[in-house]
Amino acid sequence: MVTGFNHSGFVVNELEDMIVFYRDIIGLEVEKELDSVAPPHGDHTGIPGARRKLIFMGKSKEKHSLELVHFIKPPSPEGHLERNQLGSAHICFDVEDLNSFYSQLKKKGVNFVTSPKFTTSTDGITRGVCYANDPEGNWLEFIETSITK
């Protein structure tokens, strides 16, 4: 039985650049760093002898983390999935003031695919959403939810 979420992960190429982005631009904290080496039979990675650097990032009050996975051996192949391709993934962040957050990140050079769009349901809940890419093209979603009644 599933009891909750633990973490989501992206395989990344430029690990230091991605740490800077998620820490300094998005506002996450580095929670844990691990060097992971799989035994010759592959262990949990399924890739015999794989060597990876793992960085877990999040917010101290939250249980869910973002894991940045950098493959040292074997190196990750080139390429990236399009957002509508099977297997493509994204991570979604809750934000307090989507318009302000969008403006701040836009000034810092974040590539947004959409500007904030807001809808209000008949039950008085307003939701705003916009999408962006991190520096390596991973999809990010930002959501603001507020009660207007």
pLDDT tens per residue across span 15-40: 999 999 999 999 999 999 999 988 87
- Residue 41 pLDDT grade (very low, low, confident, very high; cuts 50, 70, 90): confident
| Whether residues 100 and 63 fall in one domain | no
Tell the residue number behind the tokens 């009050």, with chain if given: 61
Tell the residue number behind the tokens 């904030």, with chain if given: 116
| Whether residues 61 and 99 fall in one domain | no
Residue 96 in any domain: the answer is: yes
Structural domain of 49: 7-73
Q: Which of 121, 118, 120 is nearest to 99 (CA)?
A: 118
| Whether residues 50 and 107 fall in one domain | no
Q: Among 9-13, 26-30, 87-91, 101-105, where is mean pLDDT lowest?
A: 87-91
Report the CATH number that the domain containing residue 120 is assigned in CATH. Answer: 3.10.180.10
| Whether residues 43 and 98 fall in one domain | no
| Whether residues 37 and 66 fall in one domain | yes
| Whether residues 14 and 69 fall in one domain | yes
**pLDDT score of 59:** 93
- Percentage of the chain surpassing pLDDT 90? 68
Give me the number of domains the chain comprises. 2
| Whether residues 47 and 105 fall in one domain | no
Please state the rounded mean pLDDT for residues 62-84.
88
Q: How far is 64 from 7, CA to CA, in rounded Å? A: 5
- Percentage of the chain surpassing pLDDT 70? 98
